[in-house]
Amino acid sequence: MSGAYTGPLEKVGPCQWKIPKSYRDDMRVDGLIFADDRLIEQIRKDQGPEQVANVATLPGIQRASLAMPDIHWGYGFAIGGVAATDPDEGGVISPGGVGYDINCGVRLLRSELTWEETKPHLKRLVDQLYRDIPTGVGQSGHYTFRPDELAELMDQGARFVVDRGWGTPRDLEFTEAGGRLEGAEPDRVSPRAFARGADQCGTLGSGNHFLEVQVVDRVLDEQAAEVMGLREGMITVLIHSGSRGLGYQVCEDHLAMFRDAPRTYGFELPDRQLACAPVRSPEGQAYLGAMRAAANFAWCNRQLLTHQARLVFQRIFGQSAESLGMDLVYDVAHNIAKFEDHEVGLDRRKTVCVHRKGATRAFPPGHPEIPAPYRGIGQPVIIPGSMGTASWVLAGQEGSMRQSFGSSCHGAGRMMSRTAAVKLAAGRRIDKELDAIGIIARARGHKGLAEEQPAAYKDVDQVVEVVDTAGISKKVARLRPIGVIKG
């Protein structure tokens, strides 16, 4: 993350900054970063913008190399990066454009509980969630699967666990892609990845993953909030996790497979971390099959985390999850590659491979892939904050299709490395600081809380303001954290 970006950034709109393709001879398209005047100064402080320029060199890239306001340096692609490639023009697929944690994503549950009803039980609730839901590096879960079961799970996606009683049909309806990417090929997943995933489905993991109990503290769009079932003072649960060790291994395996692909297919890359292959090559097809399998595993993981959270709420409040109204508002992926139809020029519509690496799908009202109840308002876009700051629910808008291949930001975005955050926290107790502002936090160690302290992140309210102003997604409701468990 070291080293500031010193290249060009031309302001081309209220919240748009262009890196012209004239900046470098190898750029095929412009770069475009969504940010306001304050955020762009933070964004300049690392090499994220240079990575936007690097992505602009990919074969078959369409329109522009994009970055959301939560952009920061990542592996190959900047986190917050979006790129669409056309397979008909030799377009490539890049594991670095999806990320190591394939289908890392978030899901939001609502409830009929109010803050006043929950407050007396909050400590017991958070402690029970922490006891019952496995968190941390390498933690085994309560659900284990034989290799043949795991292969079926990776093929079927979330339906596999819902059919076993660990969820409801409604959960599938309100999950992006119904909780399943078609075309998954579990036989493309290595034995090592299978072994890592055997006992990790239904576990939270570590790093920035969390389960958070929240209260809706502000509604900005009454109509959209009503459709989503959100009201001020309501208790919600936000779950952030992905494909765990299985997805990491899939990425690792295929990065190694892609190492020689540029030479094989006759193109050059400015950074070997951008390792990629044509979508229609044997290497590209192998990665797509494995990536989809890992994505389906991640949806099963979040579904099992949901089931475990509902069981805890039932235990603490002595009512069924149904009577508590613990319905899924929506589940969105933010590390994924998907084939979607987009306009890439004047009256030119084509199917492209959209890489979203730390970016959330944000389809507008009327889009056929949105659950029917949401087609009048746009797809829910769920933006987690950090432990001590708000999260947001937005709704996708038409501007996302014109500007960002139907994509929005995915979080606040780091502005400090984990090492720097730990150094900043030296001699402090982050859990005590959070407790002082009314947030109960439970984690496996002080280091995890130090790495994820609010000061390590950009201002999520400011990040959300950018995508709202740009017409990509509009603000619906703000959620305040009151309890969090982490690895």
195 burial (CB, 10 Å; 0-12 / 13-18 / 19+) is: middle
Q: Which amino acid is at 311?
A: L
| Tokens, residue 39 | 């955020």
CA distance 460 to 387: 11
CA distance 415 to 70: 9
Query: Taking the C-alpha atoms of 75, 81, 86 and 91 in order, what is their torsion angle to the nearest 10 degrees?
Result: -20
Stretches where the chain sits below pLDDT 70 are 1-2, 414-416, 418, 421, 448, 454, 456
pLDDT score for 363:
98
| Tokens, residue 486 | 């982490």
Half-sphere exposure of 13 (CA within 13 A, CB side): 15
pLDDT score for 1:
47
* Given 307, 342, 410, 446, the catalytic residue: 410
Strand partners, 76: none
pLDDT score for 457:
74
pLDDT score for 428:
77
Query: Residue 408 annotated as binding?
Result: no
pLDDT score for 463:
95
Task: Look at residue 383 and give its three-state secondary structure.
Answer: strand
Q: Pairing relation of β-strands 473-486 and 440-442?
A: parallel
Query: Residue 335 annotated as binding?
Result: yes
pLDDT score for 199:
95
Contacts of residue 289, defined as CB under 8 A and 6 or more positions apart, other chains included, come to 183, 184, 185, 187, 188
pLDDT score for 416:
65
CA distance 12 to 6: 18
pLDDT score for 2:
58
Query: Residue 254 annotated as binding?
Result: no
C-alpha distances out from residue 160 to 285, 302, 303, 333, Å: 24, 13, 10, 18
pLDDT score for 450:
73
Query: Residue 334 annotated as binding?
Result: yes
Query: Residue 211 annotated as binding?
Result: yes
CA distance 137 to 143: 16
Q: Which amino acid is at 162?
A: V
Report the first-to-last Cα separation within the chain, whole angstroms: 24
pLDDT score for 284:
98
Q: Does residue 410 have an active-site annotation?
A: yes
Q: Which of 455, 106, 154, 466 lies closest to 293, judged by CA?
A: 154
Q: Which of 233, 231, 290, 226 lies closest to 258, judged by CA?
A: 290
Query: Residue 385 annotated as binding?
Result: yes
Q: Which of 45, 49, 46, 69 lies closest to 458, judged by CA?
A: 69
**How crowded is residue 123: how many other Cβ atoms within 10 Å of its Cβ?**
12
* Fold adopted by 10-486: tRNA-splicing ligase RtcB (3.90.1860)
Query: Residue 72 annotated as binding?
Result: no
CA distance 118 to 115: 5
For helices 282-317 and 122-132, give the axis angle rounded to 10 degrees.
140
